[in-house]
Amino acid sequence: MSDELARALADLEEQKVEALVDERLAAGADPSSILASSQDGMRQVGERYEEGEYFVSDLMMSSAIFKKVVARLEPLLVGTTAVSRGSVVVGTVRGDVHDIGKDLVVSTLRASGYTVTDLGVNVPPDRFVEAIRETGAPVLALSGLLTISFDPMKETVEAVEAAGPRSQVKIMLGGGPVTEQVRAYAGADALGADPPSAVRLADEWTKVA
């Protein structure tokens, strides 16, 4: 059930969110419950985006507010064991240094309870393979804003394939110029056209993985 903090975050009321977090902490609330309320607010933001009520700027603002909440809670959450919904490796492929879309997906996945390994930008295929091996992540999200990212996306998918059973890792692509045609070219499993779609795909894939 949505509470006042979740609603304030969903309504992008930054100051109210900060005040409510402080208020709850002062009242001795469990930081994990505050985080859960914030995650609920982020879920509502995603729903509003998918319903056409919110736009990219709203996603970015919600992400900025959520990051502030996490920064406030993080020292208090040390030692607590959060239940992760799954592990995802994310990065912008080799040759492309754009990070805005990728960062938005990372923060949305984290707000949805995923453990995210963010490899940054201009990431070579073997670094993705290494991270999958290290984390055991069943989901890989590749980002690119430029059309020159298409070949590195394909090379990364091929590197993952060469490194082990392809069926153990599901791969999504995202970024402005990435279409179904590009997905087919690269051999990825799906398009994560926007952050809520990326979360939905991760939900689907971590259930079956």
Partner 1 sequence: MSASQQDGGVPNLYDERMIRIRKAINLEPVSQIPVIYMGTAFSARYTGRTMARYCNDPNVSFESNLETCERLGVDGLNLLASGLIAPILSAMWMSHIAVPGRELPDDSLWQVQEAEVMKAEEYDTLIEMGWQAYVASYLPRVVDMAEFGANIQFMQENTGRYLGILREKGVPYICMGATSTPFEPLCGARSMPEFFADCYRRPEKVKAAMDVMLPDMIGDGIGLAAMTHSIGAWVGGWRSASALVSPKIWNELVWPYLEAIVNAMWDKGLVSVLHLDQNWTRDLARFNELPAKSCLFNLDGFTDARKFKEILGDRFAMLGDVPPTLFAAGTPDDIHTYVHDLVRDVGPTGLLLCPGCDAPINTKPENMEAFVAAGREFGGGVH
By CB under 8 A, residue 88 contacts partner 1: no
Q: Strands (DSSP E) along the chain, which ranges? A: 87-92, 115-118, 139-143, 170-174, 190-191
For the purposes of burial, counting CB atoms within 10 Å of the CB of 192, is it exposed (0-12), middle (13-18) or buried (19 or more)?
A: buried
Of 60 and 163, nearer to partner 1 (C-beta) is 60
Which string of x and - marks every residue 104-143 that binds partner 1 (by CB under 8 A)? ----------------------------------------
The single residue among 56, 134, 136, 164 that binds partner 1, judged by CB under 8 A, is: 56
Contact by Cβ (8 Å): 91, 123: yes
- Which range touches partner 1 (CB under 8 A), out of 51-59, 73-81, 84-92, 111-119? 51-59
Tokens of 119: 């490899």
When binding is defined by CB under 8 A, the residue of 61, 70, 193, 209 that contacts partner 1 is: 61
Q: Does 162 bind partner 1 (CB under 8 A)?
A: no
Whole-number CA gyration radius for the chain: 18
Number of alpha carbons in the 13 Å side-chain half-sphere of residue 101 = 23
Binding-site member from 127, 166, 185, 203 for partner 1 (CB under 8 A): 185
φ/ψ of 109, rounded to 5, equals -65, -45
CB of 172 within 8 A of CB of 189? yes
Binding mask 137-156 for partner 1 (x = CB under 8 A): ---------xxx-xx-----
Q: Contact residues for partner 1 (CB under 8 A)?
A: 12, 14, 54-58, 60-61, 63-64, 95-98, 100, 103, 146-148, 150-151, 176-179, 181-182, 185
